[in-house]
Amino acid sequence: MKLSDLRRVWQIQRVVSRYGLREFLDGKPRGTTPRGERLRLALEELGPVFIKFGQALSTRPDIVPADIAQELVKLQDRVPPFPGAQARAIIEAELGKPVSELFAEFDEAALASASVAQVHAARLKNEGGELGMEVVVKVIRPGVEKTIAADIALLHTLAELAETFSDTARRIRPRAIVTEYESIILDELDLMREGANATQLRRNWLGSDLIYHPAVFWDFTRTRVLTLERIHGISVRELDRLRALGVDFQVLAERGVEIFFKQTFTHNFFHADMHAGNIFVDASNPKKPSYLAVDFGIVGTLTPSDQRYLAENFYAFFNRDYRRVAELHLESEWIPAGTRVEEFESAIRTVCEPIFQRPLKDISFGFFLLRLFQIARRFNYQVQPQLVLLQKTLLQIEGL
């Protein structure tokens, strides 16, 4: 092991000790602060890879207990911006020209900053050098690739150790989870890939009045630099502002659900990072508000068999055909062969029936998933890595 790796292991051990995380190994409580909060604070201190891994785990109630999953949702992927001069240097190195020749305007103060990249406002040049279209320029953070590679290697080592010494760990397949997570975070480092994702989503939805995706300017895009049309909307977090404008929330909610189902079952290409920071509202027509999307580093697709099983599960669920839900889980091998279908059916009914007794506005699909996964644990539910992004997106859609 390299000296740098040893230093990182030592740092992790210090953080584990400081926040009393050995409780997760021996079950002995440390201090009065809830364990989920201590874990969240530790992950934030350990940096980008651990923050994003915690965010991924927050959407896996089949793996982590509900109290921890709910706390990990609060993980913030916000870090201080790196200097604008460094961003300028990266842009010039990637695009091969001075920023002054590339853009009519470029703001060195970051518009937004996260652990992997940050965004700067700019304007393209029209013919004759006049001001052109407003754009945003996304730039990968200097040195982040090296940090991510080292931490991913450590996560692989920890996952291998967990599977070697823990029966529980073997059931949840930590090595498969880390491998899936690695592919996701490495994809985020390739802004050409994000540009391609944005272009595909834009093509799928072009002309729709439900959602708008910004155009990509490929002449100003490389692996570490992405230039997109700048959009202006209202964050979905600004509920008071949306209400003041008379936005019809029922229409907005219905359109959000329609977008999810079309992305999943019609296009089979879905935006898998639809948290509130990435979704804005176009309120120019308050009675028919639409969505504006940004940040396309994470997208998902499903196999035809996964699509079919999910569609059949939804259909059976809404028809209260719990036996069919149980049979589908067995047929897809999501739970082990030999499981008594009647017993699993009864457990599913216990979760689902109370939901149908409530008004729609009081139903929490996230809570339903938590309960369903808790019950599925008893039947040795096998984690499906290919469904990680869809489960995450379902929870984010409810949040929206």
Active site residue ranges = 273
- Are the C-beta atoms of 236 and 280 separated by less than 8 Å? yes
Q: For residues 135 and 58, what is the distance between their CA atoms, to the nearest angstrom? A: 33
Angstrom distance (rounded) from CA 223 to CA 396 = 28
> Please, which residues have CB within 8 angstroms of residue 325's CB and are 6 or more apart in sequence?
313, 316, 317, 345, 348
- DSSP letter at 233 equals -
Question: What single-letter amino acid sits at 144?
Answer: V
The CB-side HSE value for 161 (13 A sphere, CA atoms) comes to 6
- Crossing angle of helices 365-378 and 388-399, in 10° steps, is 150
Rounded to whole angstroms, how far apart are CA atoms 253 and 356? 19
Helix (H, G, I), strand (E, B) or coil at 124: strand
Residue 119 three-state SS: strand
Kind of pairing, strands 105-106 and 112-113?
A: unpaired
Question: Alpha carbon of 128 to those of 104, 131, 218: distances in Å?
Answer: 11, 9, 21
Are the CB atoms for 215 and 246 separated by under 8 Å?
A: no
Residue 52: which region, alpha, beta or left (left: phi > 0; alpha: psi -120 to 50)?
Answer: alpha
Of 77, 100, 103, 99, whose CA–CA distance to 90 is shortest? 99
Among 79, 71, 23, 72, smallest CA distance to 48 is for 79
Q: Which two tokens stand for residue 369?
A: 């998933």
User: Distance between CA atoms of 362 and 209, rounded to whole angstroms?
Assistant: 28
What's the CA gap between 68 and 71, in Å, rounded? Answer: 5
Distance CA 217, CA 231 (A): 14
**Which residue in the block uniquely carries the two structure tokens 């689902």?**
352
